[in-house]
Amino acid sequence: DQQVKQNSPSLSVQEGRISILNCDYTNSMFDYFLWYKKYPAEGPTFLISISSIKDKNEDGRFTVFLNKSAKHLSLHIVPSQPGDSAVYFCAVSIFFGNEKLTFGTGTRLTIIP
């Protein structure tokens, strides 16, 4: 099942700089996109989402960008902080009538102090 891909398994970023995490999907029917953050031994924690009618959504240090034509979304974290070190998953769904979230493989982000 390769419907959602995160091609970078890991990423290291200096504290204070911008972290950019990427996600590609294949099914144009997906219309709701989310980012979750996961620490070891915890469940995924919701970060930010975007619906297909928008191309950008901001929440504090986190911004999600959606490029529907390229079937690509990205998460920008600026400035990056040590507490941002975690595994980040993108997830997608066909919002109405389809409850399941399809997750990417995750990107382990390490913020270097």
- Give the interface with another protein as residue ranges (CB under 8 A): 32, 34, 36, 41-46, 49, 51, 89, 91, 95, 98-106
Residue 51 makes CB contacts below 8 A (sequence gap 6+) with 31, 32, 33, 95
List, in sequence order, every residue forming a beta bridge with 37; answer none if it has no partner: 45, 88
Minimal CA–CA distance to 4: which of 64, 78, 94? 94
State the nearest-atom distance from the C-beta of 8 to another protein, in Å: 14
CB of 19 or CB of 106, closer to another protein? 106
**In the complex, least distance from residue 16 CB atom to another protein, rounded to whole angstroms:** 28
Of 32 and 62, which CB lies nearer to another protein in the complex structure?
A: 32
> Is 44 or 63 the residue whose CB approaches another protein more closely?
44
